[in-house]
Chains A and B, each alone.
Chain A
Amino acid sequence: MAHYDTAVIGGGLLGCAIAWHLARAGTRVLIVEKDQVNRHASGQNAGSLHFQLEFRMVEHGDDAARLAARALPLHLDAQRTWAGLEAALGAPCGVALRGGLMLAETPAEVAALDRKAALEREYGLDVQVLGGPQLRELAPYLADTVRAAGHLPGEGKANPRLVTPAFAHAALRHGAELRTGHRVTALHRDGGRWRLSTGDGRSDTADTVVLAAGVWTAELAAMADVRLPVFPVGLTMSATARTAPLLPHLIQHVGRRLSMKQTAEGNVLLGGGWPAKLVTRHGRTDLDRNPELRYESLTGNADAARVVPAVMRLPIIRSWSGMTTLTPDQLPLLGPVPRRPGLHVATGGSAFTLGPTYARLLASTLLGDRPDLPLDDYSPARFGALNFV
């Protein structure tokens, strides 16, 4: 048994990044991970750094888009954070910010693109809607069916294989402790501290606890007798064989589920929100099994890739499923949990793109500093009605 200033539950991007900030500030930090570092959403997502609003945020109408746009201040911060991340960590993370394009193929999609760009510009995000020769010059690889594209120069990609291990490595260098293969089985207050027990019978205490456990956040919160509305969603990603550079930009689509980018090694990664089916067992969702890939998602995602005709001749060499964590309003869930002193949470929203930003802001809260961005819109307090004590 040991005592820590902070115990971070979850060895993904958020957990490792928060631990890095806290360890760097000289506090005693423990990361507890039930599997391996980077095993889940942090390592399974396709590495998009999309600072424009995503299709899933605009597909449900203008009001929903306006609500989702409240995260845009974080997008602006994330753009700067990613640009400096490799220098800060002293490790390669595959960050490449060569611009992103959100495509429109129909007049209705072009109109949606214009509305989205206007909303983004309200928040200071420099999105330009390009069409005609200007777009062809920037992206000669696009299919003729593409009429316009929202262009944001600072968008791009990072390498999910490298980012979280780099954070973990940096955190360990600053003295954080990492315990993998240990699942937290109990979490409760004990003499003014948090006590967390792991499956092997071990038990430790910490002044503060951060839940950075993605889709497992709700069950961990329940151990502390708190309900947090987070929902798992199964997603599909695919990769082609390596090929010569053909796609410098991050590609998204305003009217379809699609994200596409080419890795430094040359693989083209496909994703963008094609569903994978969560596995249920005994009538309940089983979060410990990878969601089941759907044939329709693999083929549908492949079909959506037609906007870049040159990729169609490439073979897909693997597809995989992962889970991401949604909140009811699609906004992040970030900050202290009301009426649970010392319990904090970080999940939801675009947690890969915005992860380094979440981590920095939450760490400054934990260290007693005032975060340099208002976090009220993302606070767990907005779901306070779900809890009676």
Chain B
Amino acid sequence: MSNPTDVVVVGAGPAGLAAAATLGRHGARVTVVDEQQRPGGQIYRQPPTGHTRTGRRTEAGRALLAEAAAAPHLDWLPDTVAWGVFGTRAGLDDYAGPAPAPGRLRLGVHTPDGGRTLEPAALVLTAGAYDLPVPFPGWTLPGVLTAGGVQTFLKAQGLLPGRRFVLAGGHPLLLVVAAQLVAAGAHVVEVAFSQHLRTLLPGPRDLAAAVGNAAKLAEGAAALRHLRRARVPVRFGTVIRAAHGDPELDGVVLSRVDAAGLPVPGTERTVACDVLALGYGFVPSTELARQAGCAVAWRPAEGGWIVDHDDWMRTSVPGISVAGELTGVAGAEQAEVEGRLAAYGTLQTLGLLDADRAAALARPVRRILARRRRFAAAVLSRFAPDPAALNALVTDDTVLCRCEEVTAGDIRRALCDHPHLGTANAVKLLTRAGMGLCQGRSCQPAVCRLIAEQTGRSPEQIGAFTAQPPVKPVPLASLAAAARQHDDQG
């Protein structure tokens, strides 16, 4: 199959847009694959086609979106799932069907028109991150959403998904979302922040790291001021314990936590609400990179498993680079910078940029990146949730795997009955946790924390669920049609 694409960029958030625009500007033919209709990713999500904002508001990421829209040699595949990378481990031959040309990767995609393959010389994976799912009794009730989900309803869809909101968790995004909800006229009943305020106040080292990153800190501080002014209670050292309602959410139980982050008995109180937004931070979307065979590392402060890379964002698999949250959760600005760096690295691989010129172009980018990384290490890492505190929210009856309805008790019992088991994959096979439609995205962190607590094994020993193709569900008919396509050509 002749294919005019040099590089496929998977993801159209800040990292993907920056990579694609930079690649296109330097003469690479680029295809951008994204699951959404319009570029921007979660952070720069634009309203649907035909919708416009009522207020005069500057769209976040406008400059980057404009840069990508104007860049030459860019082909967009929206509404498309990139579901598998083939030929990266063993190197495939053509005995079983047409093999990719030498030096090319094969990427399976599912578009609105069906299944096909792309065969680029390089891939830049920028799949971003998603809200860390944090199980507790009642978290599966309709009305319980992630903070990111509530924000997307509000900012991209213009929907207040309820009337009375409680926000709970441990990530600064909570404050930002709460302020946005208040500005949109919602009743925010309470913001419950799991950390104690004193642990969040910046120290001298953090302030040094914040140089050049003031905007980010200011955003959180401004949100807090708005909430105070609107008399929204923001309570620190307070956690969600349970969500109630039948059949849908009508209230939550909050309680105080001690210095170790563990709930203090007797401090429980019930708060009525119809939406609970949870914000505990983010998990990098490493599935496609892991499925392709890219080496990963365990970095709890950066979101869990992240993809290993070199100075040019190249992974352990030749031809595959990464940028953005899957190298460690650090926000849009860092993602954008990493996207440019990944582009410069890929351009060298393609022979479109010589080493000296690439180094020169990368220099200012690297300076910004160093600053961002200092900030991320010093400030963002203090919001990383504590595994023991998260485990304390889980009761035996708490569902961990929503798709297959596997409870924490089911997993504890399985580990007791089979004491020789202790990996994420083994527990998945035994209990079905992670075997559902979401492919383990919603339960993996909690399942692995529970295995660690129960067996004393390290996260590295426990591992992650193996990332299997298709990394997002793809209709059987789409795969079958792809088989006939190849037959026709063969």
Which of A's residues lie within 8 Å of B, judged by CB? 36-39, 43, 161, 165, 168-169, 178, 180, 239-242, 265, 267, 275, 277-280, 289-300, 302-303, 305-306, 311-320
Give bound CA distance, A114 to B96, whole Å.
Answer: 29
A302-B426 contact in complex given A293-B469, A295-B106, C-beta closer than 8 Å: no
Interface residue from B429, B474, B480, B483 paired with A296 (Cβ < 8 Å): B483
Query: How far apart are A163's CB and chain B's nearest CB, in angstroms?
Result: 11
- B128 close to A (CB within 8 Å): no
- Given known pairs A295-B106, A299-B482, the reply for A312 and B92 (CB within 8 Å) is no
B86, closest chain A residue (CB)? A295
Contact B96 A294 (CB under 8 A): yes
* Complex CA distance for A281 and B89, rounded to whole angstroms: 10
A169 and B421 contacting across the interface, CB-CB below 8 Å:
no
Contacts A292-B89, A313-B477 known; A303 to B420 CB distance under 8 Å?
no
Is A37 within 8 A of B476, CB to CB?
no
Taken residue by residue from 403 to 447, chain B's Cβ proximity to chain A (1 for < 8 Å, 0 otherwise) reads as: 010000000000001101111011001101001110100000000
Listed by A's residue number, 7 A-B pairs whose Cβ atoms lie within 8 Å are A37-B426, A161-B432, A240-B476, A296-B483, A302-B482, A312-B477, A317-B435
Measured CB to CB, the nearest residue on chain B to A179 is B420
Interchain CB contact under 8 A, A299 and B439 = no
Q: Is the CB of B115 within 8 A of A43?
A: no
With A313-B475, A315-B473, A316-B476 known as contacts, the answer to whether A278 contacts B90 (CB < 8 A) is: yes
Q: In the complex, what distance in Å separates the CA atom of A320 from the CA atom of B465? A: 12
Chain B, Cβ-Cβ closest to A298: B479
Give the contacting residue for A302; candidates B86, B90, B480; CB below 8 A.
B480
Residues of B within 8 A of A279 (CB): 89-90
Q: Which residues of A contact B97 (CB under 8 A)?
A: 294-296, 300
In the assembled complex, the Cα of A205 lies from the Cα of B478 at a distance in Å of 55
User: Does B92 lie within 8 Å of A292, measured CB to CB?
Assistant: yes
Given contacts A36-B422, A37-B420, A295-B86, contact A275 B96 (CB under 8 A): yes
CA distance A168 to B420 in the complex (A): 10
Mark B462-487 against chain A: 1 for CB-CB distance below 8 A, else 0: 00001011100111110110111010
Contact A305 B474 (CB under 8 A): no
In the bound complex, residues from chain B placing their C-beta under 8 Å from that of A275 are 96
- Whether A277 lies near B483 (C-beta < 8 A) is no
Q: Is the CB of B417 within 8 A of A299?
A: no
Task: Decide: A320 near B468, CB < 8 A? Known: A180-B420, A299-B482, A306-B480.
Answer: yes
Give the interface SS of chain A, mostly helix, strand, loop or mixed: mixed
Closest to A315 in B: B473
Bound Cα distance A299, B92 (Å): 15
Give the contacting residue for B418; candidates A37, A290, A311; CB below 8 A. Answer: A37
What is the distance, in angstroms, from B414's C-beta to the closest C-beta of chain A?
9
Which residues of A are found within 8 Å of B117, using beta-carbon distances? 295
A315–B476 touching, CB < 8 Å: yes
Given contacts A37-B426, A165-B430, A265-B432, 5 further A-B contacts (CB under 8 A): A169-B418, A241-B473, A295-B86, A302-B480, A314-B476
Nearest residue (CB) in B for A314 is B476
- Collect the chain A residues with CB atoms within 8 Å of residue B90's CB: 277-280, 291-292
Whether, in the assembled complex, B279 has its beta carbon less than 8 Å from a beta carbon of chain A, the answer is no
Q: Give the complex CA separation of A292 and B292 in angstroms.
A: 10
8 tightest CB-CB pairs across the interface, nearest first?
A315-B473, A302-B479, A296-B97, A299-B483, A303-B483, A303-B480, A302-B480, A292-B90
A299 and B478 CA atoms in complex are apart in Å by 9
User: Is B84's CB within 8 Å of the partner chain A?
Assistant: yes
Q: List residues of chain B with CB within 8 A of the CB of A39.
A: 425-426
* Interface assignment of B108: CB less than 8 Å from any CB of chain A: yes
Flag if A318 contacts B468 (CB, 8 Å).
yes
Are B480 and A169 in contact, CB atoms less than 8 angstroms apart?
no
Interface centre among A267, A277, A290 (most CB of B within 10 A): A277
> Which residues from chain A contact B88 at a C-beta distance below 8 Å?
292
CA distance A179 to B3 in the complex (A): 51
Interface centre among B89, B106, B425, B479 (most CB of A within 10 A): B479
A186 to chain B, nearest CB (A): 23
Contact A36 B479 (CB under 8 A): no
For A37, the chain B residues whose CB sits under 8 A away are 418, 420-421, 426
Report yes or no: B92 in contact with A38, Cβ–Cβ below 8 A. no
Contacts of A319 in B (CB 8 A): 468-470
Least CB distance, A260 to chain B, in whole angstroms: 11
Of the candidates B84, B423, B470, the one whose C-beta lies within 8 Å of that of A36 is: B423
B484 to A, closest residue via Cβ: A303
CB proximity of B415 to chain A, nearest CB, Å? 12
Quick check: A317 and B480 within 8 Å, CB to CB? no
Partner of A289, one of B89, B115, B421: B89
What is the chain A residue whose CB lies nearest that of B420?
A180
Q: Which of B86-135 contact A (CB under 8 A)?
A: 86-90, 92, 96-97, 106, 108, 115, 117
B-side contacts of A292, CB under 8 Å: 86-90, 92
Residues of A within 8 A of B404 (CB): 265
- Among A161, A241, A277, A303, which residue has its beta carbon within 8 angstroms of that of B92? A277
A33 to B178, CA, bound (A): 52
Q: Which residues of A contact B425 (CB under 8 A)?
A: 36, 39
Q: Within 8 Å CB of B466, what residues of A?
A: 290, 320
Instruction: Give every chain B residue within 8 A of A180 (Cβ-Cβ).
Output: 420-421
Q: Is the CB of A38 within 8 A of B426?
A: yes
